[in-house]
Structure 1
Amino acid sequence: MRDVWLAILRRYALLFAALLLVIAADIAVNITPPLVLQYLVDHLADGAIAEETLLLVALLYFALCAAGGLVDTLKETGITVLGQKITHGLRSAMCQRLSRLPADFFVQHESGALSSRFINDVDTLESLFDSGVVSMIADACTILAILAVVSQISGGLGILLVIALPLLFLLTRYFQRRMRQAQLDNRAAVAKTSALIPETVDNIRTIHLCQQERYMAERCRVSLKQSFAAMERSNFCDSIYSPIIICNCTAIICLMMALSVSSSAMQALFGMTVGSVVALIAYVRRIFTPLESIGMEIQNIQSAIAGIDRLREFFAAPLESLPPAAASPSPAEQQLPLVIEHVSFGYGKGPSLFRDFSLTVREGETVTLAGRTGVGKTTLFKLILGLYAPRTGNIRICGLDPRAIPAEKRRPICCCVEQGFTAIDGSVRDQITLRDARVTEAAVQEALALTGMAEVCAQLPQGLATPFCPALFSQGQRQLLGIARAIALNPRLLLLDEITANLDALTERQIIRALQAASKDRAVLSISHRLYEASGGKIITLS
């Protein structure tokens, strides 16, 4: 993850440098007004200032105060822009990495928890810059600058502040640790809640049938309660931190005034004049204002650190190991749509689902896989699609390792039709083209004609431009759209994963006829006994 951060910071190095200059200007402008005020009060007390000079000094004071507000606004704007740029770069890096993660990662991590990393955890990083680490650095620099100026005006007050600030720093560290743990607990609870929502929605019918509403509600309630408890701990620490800072500010001012009049030695140490008293009180308040702000910034920083910890886990996940680049396949290899040679595979460290399995599917041939549930039929499809790497053996699609086929070349080579139709946002045409510019209108019409869906789509209110809605089509018609999507770019290999499951006999016969038309002159590997019976192909039994 460090490489990602360095790349993002290098990309926005100029913006970061400009922000540092604005922060420096903000500090300079904000520590100057008390000095002007000291000069003004001291000379007014002595009566040794001309009216013209008094007016100019007063105008300078108000000008510096106004400039301080303008520079502070510019600083906050720069911090916000930098935060947005960095979080945009981080999300872009995460999206690039997402496409390279192995299928095992998505099996081990629920979709809700993964989306929480992209949305909630990255959002916390924006606050890291908006009102977090950058603001905290600016406040720390302001404190150091004020300490330097105060020490020049009053050595005694400088000593008091040097004694008080380490104690306040230790107090800050204590609250920091408490709030960080609370934020970590909250992020974990939010991720758990995010994972429960899609799980509940996906299984809502089963939950109702089994009367498990109370069980699911209790699971959600526990996660929400954990989140609320963590946030309450964090808010409690934040709520008592600011009052402590304000009380210390008042105590130091009172102690300064009391010590400065206690003896002549103390008066000499504190070096008090009317103007310096006014300036020092202003500086004490100014030095505690950033400390008070740090109390709020700590909470944002700890929330961001909790998010960074979870993002670090995402970036630490091993990427898919792609096979080394191989030489271009020979013409003989390219003519064979699918070759499986002595393949063995098992999930993780579990037992092998099949050992030394070999299969060749030629152009125009239909092969059906048979076997009991759990024998590995669908797993074999995942291997062919390149989602997993075999433990031993080789798989070649048109002479190429499926994991090494570029994404833009996969669809014209191999397509898979699953049991359920997965829709995307858009029109009916988009369901077939997947917004792929290579799929022409003629190819769409041909695919619909082969699957028998051309007339159905023509009767829609806006034809193929009709916004897709599941209610427009029956389950069987959605499966036919899935077949049309698969054959739109005329792939050489077609994989059919139990697509006639859970369909009535009439709809099943319609799909079988569509598959027979779509399977002509291409290799087909299927998990469908009906298609085997209708096509007269061969059957391979896995055991």
Structure 2
Amino acid sequence: MKNSLIKRAIGKAITHNIGLSILLVFAICGVVVTSLIPPQILKYIVDHNLVPHKSEKLLTLAASYTVILLLIGIFDFVKEAVLTILGQKITKEIKVEMMEKLERINAMFFSSNSSGVVVSRFTNDVDAINSLFTSGIIGMMVDCLKLIGIVISIWIFSSRIGMVTLLLIPAIYGITREFQKRMLKAQIENRILIGKVNNHISESLKNILMIKSYSKESYMEENYKRYLLDNYKTVEKVNFYDSIYSPIIQCTRAVVIALIVVLSSKQLNFLGISLGMVAATIELISNLFAPIENLGMELQNIQQAISGIKRVNDFYNEAEDDYKEQDLKAEDMISNREDVQLSFNNISFQYEEGADILHNINLNLKPNEKVTFVGRTGVGKTTLFKLIMGLLKPTKGSITINGVDVYNIPNSEKRKIFGYVDQSFHVIKGTVADQISLQDGSITREQAEKALDFVGLKDYVESLEYGMDTIVNSDNLFSQGQKQLLAIARAIVTNPPILLLDEVTANLDSITEEKIVSVLKKASHSHTILSISHRLSSMIASDTVVILEHGRIKNAGSPEVLLESDDWYRSHIALEKLTWS
């Protein structure tokens, strides 16, 4: 499967743009061939017009020289334009393939990869691959052809100068590559330090009240000055290499040209070439430096691109979700809302081999049962919810709804079965109605209005300038409590039989919490509700409380039974009463 994604993307871009591909080949040939013609014209002008003092055809030759230079510019422009267009098309194909992969990728991938890491695959790595095509392999091919053409042209004039040129190429390339390596190293250091400077500024702004409270202004200033000083040092290093590289190349070019002129003089006549050949050779030698300099940069781009290709291929080779039966419909699984049975069949789960998060969980829930999972942080409560929704696959065992494994349910059907609410509300681009429907065309406006009315937000939304059509582009439009009510509306809008509540009152004040709990109590009459709560006193009335410890079920039963039989539960309730009294 190695490089299959890249090859497929390049293949699609080329086959779908045959005309552009042919134009690119034509432009490359044009650039290489036309760049070798001006020295030949110059040689002819000097030897046949200037030396014998003849003006015949001089105007025509001068015009030809100008036209060829113009053609070189046109071919180069066409080459760069076509490369840019094809490069963008390749980038588009790669990103489309990656997005399709992202939709199929196993949820375990996101447990070990942050959003920043995933985004960098789509941006930095794909851009590096794009540079492989636009300024890497194609550019190197063009520059190599130019070098070969220049060396052959010089060799035709004089085999001795040709030998000198062959010796000159590795020397110039070595100097160029060494400077580029040093500059790249300094630039990487500079980027790291710029990141530190920017991070220090954002951290200072974020924690400004704490900094002032503890009189840490001078400490933060000193750190900032140190980061800035280190940054300036790397900038100076980059500028130093950049400033001395050009004079070194210019001096080398001048020495080589002076050497050719001296060796071609009447006194020495070591090279045995005409004055026109000398002029043409000087121009060819001058043209020799640009492609050598470009080759060093192109190799650098290729090295970066290879790293990008590896990372993109690693992403593309990530494990995918198992095949789900697309013809499996929610209404077929749940024909009667009053007969929804959720079963945990000896499930175990681990993110890493040998480290169980959950172990041998067995539960059978009755229709419309209210179950609360409690336990210390890190015992696996949220992981259990991800397993219930089929986002993760158990390492062992299964979770079933009316006998159907939840992991096999198509994602498109899950919203009709599960309503999920966590402690933070994620705003999407769009209107208030979009926040509830998530732009799902199957959800009607009437359903969204009904959900808003259920959670008690209908009057507030109607008071907004455009009601449900108000664009939500600010976090200030809704309070924290209202956002949580919106989250509940989003969860219940499809009237799913099962609601999953993950610490929904964790960040709310007591008055808002009471309102949220009352809405959830209203919803509890027609739903199976599974909730996670650290504060047992704030949870909705539960039929069953499941205490998790070390990934296992330590105890389970009604709140009344546990209050009598479980020391941990009893002490936890007592501690909460003491804390909130």
TM range (shorter): 0.7 to 0.9
User: Matched residues in 2 for 1:245 and 1:403: separation?
Assistant: 64
- Whether 2:440 is the aligned partner of 1:436: answer yes
Greater CA deviation, 407-416 or 479-488? Answer: 407-416
User: Matched residues in 1 for 2:333 and 2:283: separation?
Assistant: 86
- Whether 2:20 is the aligned partner of 1:21: answer no
User: Which residue in the other structure is 2:379 paired with?
Assistant: 375
SS in 1 for 2:415: helix
8 Å CA contact retained: 2:502, 2:532? yes
SS in 2 for 1:147: helix
The 5-angstrom pairing of residues 109-128 of structure 1 reads 109-128=113-132
User: Which residue in the other structure is 1:260 paired with?
Assistant: 264
User: Which residue in the other structure is 1:291 paired with?
Assistant: 292
8 Å CA contact retained: 1:343, 1:394? yes
User: Which residue in the other structure is 2:558 paired with?
Assistant: none
User: Matched residues in 1 for 2:220 and 2:409: separation?
Assistant: 42
- Whether 2:518 is the aligned partner of 1:518: answer no
- Whether 2:318 is the aligned partner of 1:312: answer no
Post-superposition Cα deviations, 1:400-443, rounded to whole Å, max 9, x if no partner, equal 54444433222222231001111122221121111111111011
User: Matched residues in 2 for 1:329 and 1:347: separation?
Assistant: 28
- Whether 2:83 is the aligned partner of 1:72: answer no
User: Which residue in the other structure is 1:322 paired with?
Assistant: 321
Shift, 1:347, TM fit: 3.8
SS in 2 for 1:83: helix
Shift, 1:44, TM fit: 1.4
Q: Aligned pair in 2 of structure 1 residues 532, 503: CA closer, same or farther (>3 Å)?
A: closer
Shift, 1:114, TM fit: 4.2
What amino acid maps onto 2:367 in structure 1? E
User: Which residue in the other structure is 1:343 paired with?
Assistant: 347
- Whether 2:90 is the aligned partner of 1:92: answer no
SS in 2 for 1:28: helix
Post-superposition Cα deviations, 1:110-148, rounded to whole Å, max 9, x if no partner, equal 444544444445445555555554334322221111111
8 Å CA contact retained: 2:107, 2:391? yes
Aligned residues: 536
User: Matched residues in 2 for 1:201 and 1:362: separation?
Assistant: 51
8 Å CA contact retained: 2:3, 2:309? no
Shift, 1:381, TM fit: 1.1
Q: Aligned pair in 2 of structure 1 residues 216, 520: CA closer, same or farther (>3 Å)?
A: farther
What amino acid maps onto 1:287 in structure 2? L
User: Matched residues in 2 for 1:535 and 1:33: separation?
Assistant: 89
8 Å CA contact retained: 2:5, 2:313? no
User: Which residue in the other structure is 1:487 paired with?
Assistant: 492
- Whether 2:279 is the aligned partner of 1:278: answer yes
Select 1:542's aligned residue among 539, 548, 567: 548
**Normalized against structure 1, the TM-score is what?**
0.85
Post-superposition Cα deviations, 1:279-299, rounded to whole Å, max 9, x if no partner, equal 11111112223334446x35x
What amino acid maps onto 1:380 in structure 2? L
- Whether 2:61 is the aligned partner of 1:57: answer yes
User: Matched residues in 2 for 1:205 and 1:105: separation?
Assistant: 37
SS in 1 for 2:416: helix
Q: Aligned pair in 2 of structure 1 residues 198, 448: CA closer, same or farther (>3 Å)?
A: farther
User: Which residue in the other structure is 2:156 paired with?
Assistant: 152
What amino acid maps onto 1:69 in structure 2? G
8 Å CA contact retained: 1:451, 1:517? no
SS in 1 for 2:428: coil
SS in 1 for 2:464: coil
User: Matched residues in 2 for 1:407 and 1:209: separation?
Assistant: 49
User: Matched residues in 1 for 2:348 and 2:162: separation?
Assistant: 75
User: Matched residues in 2 for 1:116 and 1:220: separation?
Assistant: 27
The 5-angstrom pairing of residues 168-247 of structure 1 reads 168-179=172-183, 181-182=185-186, 236-247=240-251
8 Å CA contact retained: 1:150, 1:158? yes
Q: Aligned pair in 2 of structure 1 residues 534, 68: CA closer, same or farther (>3 Å)?
A: closer
Post-superposition Cα deviations, 1:356-390, rounded to whole Å, max 9, x if no partner, equal 10123343222221223332222211222334332
What amino acid maps onto 2:276 in structure 1? G
8 Å CA contact retained: 2:340, 2:497? no
Q: Aligned pair in 2 of structure 1 residues 9, 449: CA closer, same or farther (>3 Å)?
A: same
Shift, 1:449, TM fit: 1.6
8 Å CA contact retained: 2:126, 2:312? no
Greater CA deviation, 517-526 or 60-69? Answer: 517-526
**Unpaired stretches in structure 2, ≥5 consecutive residues:** 550-581
What amino acid maps onto 2:464 in structure 1? L
Shift, 1:495, TM fit: 0.6
Select 1:410's aligned residue among 409, 414, 419: 414
Shift, 1:60, TM fit: 2.0
User: Which residue in the other structure is 2:49 paired with?
Assistant: 44
8 Å CA contact retained: 1:183, 1:306? no
What amino acid maps onto 2:546 in structure 1? I
Select 2:87's aligned residue among 72, 83, 86: 83
User: Matched residues in 1 for 2:121 and 2:217: separation?
Assistant: 28
User: Matched residues in 1 for 2:112 and 2:232: separation?
Assistant: 27
SS in 2 for 1:375: coil
Q: Aligned pair in 2 of structure 1 residues 383, 412: CA closer, same or farther (>3 Å)?
A: same
Greater CA deviation, 454-463 or 113-122? Answer: 113-122
User: Matched residues in 1 for 2:404 and 2:190: separation?
Assistant: 47
User: Matched residues in 2 for 1:212 and 1:391: separation?
Assistant: 49
User: Which residue in the other structure is 1:463 paired with?
Assistant: 467
Q: Aligned pair in 2 of structure 1 residues 105, 196: CA closer, same or farther (>3 Å)?
A: farther
Q: Aligned pair in 2 of structure 1 residues 103, 327: CA closer, same or farther (>3 Å)?
A: closer
Q: Aligned pair in 2 of structure 1 residues 107, 322: CA closer, same or farther (>3 Å)?
A: closer
- Whether 2:525 is the aligned partner of 1:527: answer no
Greater CA deviation, 467-476 or 482-491? Answer: 467-476
User: Matched residues in 1 for 2:37 and 2:479: separation?
Assistant: 75
User: Matched residues in 2 for 1:538 and 1:421: separation?
Assistant: 27
Shift, 1:160, TM fit: 1.1
User: Matched residues in 2 for 1:224 and 1:120: separation?
Assistant: 25
8 Å CA contact retained: 1:83, 1:128? no
Q: Aligned pair in 2 of structure 1 residues 179, 256: CA closer, same or farther (>3 Å)?
A: same
User: Matched residues in 1 for 2:225 and 2:295: separation?
Assistant: 33
User: Matched residues in 2 for 1:402 and 1:117: separation?
Assistant: 31
Q: CA RMSD in A?
A: 3.8
User: Which residue in the other structure is 2:509 paired with?
Assistant: 504
8 Å CA contact retained: 1:117, 1:311? no
SS in 2 for 1:261: coil
Q: Aligned pair in 2 of structure 1 residues 238, 413: CA closer, same or farther (>3 Å)?
A: farther
Q: Aligned pair in 2 of structure 1 residues 347, 216: CA closer, same or farther (>3 Å)?
A: farther
8 Å CA contact retained: 1:385, 1:403? yes
Shift, 1:457, TM fit: 0.9
**Unpaired stretches in structure 1, ≥5 consecutive residues:** none
- Whether 2:447 is the aligned partner of 1:420: answer no
User: Matched residues in 1 for 2:459 and 2:242: separation?
Assistant: 65
- Whether 2:11 is the aligned partner of 1:10: answer yes
What amino acid maps onto 1:434 in structure 2? L
